[in-house]
């Protein structure tokens, strides 16, 4: 986690995103198509894929809350004060 949130890791992420975005924009404007032979582009793209794979898994907060409410309703009360 520390490596992922370090300043150098954030800078590398920004540099990778900028390189890929610039290269795709160049292609969009009529430049050559990106290829597997472009080492710098492919390295940046691979680092982006690795970061995506290691990113925290998103979850739907509403689904989690609904499941918790259901569990609470299904759990029987074992309190002695409740008769």
User: What are 54-76's pLDDT values in tens digits?
Assistant: 877 787 889 888 888 888 887 66
Position 65 in a domain? yes
What pLDDT, on the 0 to 100 scale, is given for residue 83? 52
Residue-level pLDDT at 81: 62
Is 83 part of a structural domain of the chain?
A: no
Structural domain includes residue 42: yes
Task: Report yes or no on 14 lying in a domain.
Answer: yes
pLDDT of residue 6: 86
Residue 42 lies in domain: 7-74
Reduced to 3 states (helix: H, G, I; strand: E, B; else coil), residue 83 is coil
> Does any domain span residue 79?
no
Is residue 20, in this structure, part of any structural domain at all?
Answer: yes
SS3 42: helix
Whether 23 is covered by a domain: the verdict is yes
Number of domains the chain contains: 1
Write out the DSSP string of 48-77. Answer: HHHHHHTSPPP--HHHHHHHHHHHHHHSPP
- What residues in the chain have per-residue pLDDT under 50? 1
In a domain, 30, yes or no: yes
């Amino acid at each position: 986690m520390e490596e992922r949130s370090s300043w150098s890791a954030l800078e590398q992420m920004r540099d990778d995103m900028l390189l890929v975005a610039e290269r795709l924009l160049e292609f969009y404007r009529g430049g050559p198509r990106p290829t597997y032979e472009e080492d710098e582009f492919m390295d940046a793209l691979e680092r982006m894929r690795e970061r995506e794979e290691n990113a925290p898994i998103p979850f739907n907060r509403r689904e989690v809350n609904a499941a918790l409410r259901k569990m609470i309703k299904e759990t029987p009360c074992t309190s002695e004060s409740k008769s």
